[in-house]
Amino acid sequence: MLGMGGILTIGVAKKLLDGTLCGRACKNPREVWLNNGVFGYEYSTSGSGRPIYVSAGDGISQNKQWPLSRK
């Protein structure tokens, strides 16, 4: 059963709400780790100084949310 009435969702935030970022040596996007697993990604756009944070929502896996969020 999908949440939100069958609509696939992803989470997007202006700041890191939970978890730990991969070190500075990691490439863009940087992984956000929570409970020993990848929970989301920090993505920095070229023109903006501020990153966005993206994570899987209802009805979508972590592996599929990143390619969708790039669009």
Tokens of 5: 């009435």
The pLDDT value given to residue 8:
76
Taking only the tens of pLDDT, the chain with its 71 residues reads 445 567 778 888 999 999 999 887 787 788 899 998 888 888 887 766 788 898 877 776 666 555 555 55
The pLDDT value given to residue 49:
76
The pLDDT value given to residue 1:
46
Q: Locate the DSSP E strands across 1-71.
A: 10-13, 20-21, 30-34, 37-43, 52-56
User: Range of 9's domain?
Assistant: 4-70
Domain count, the chain: 1
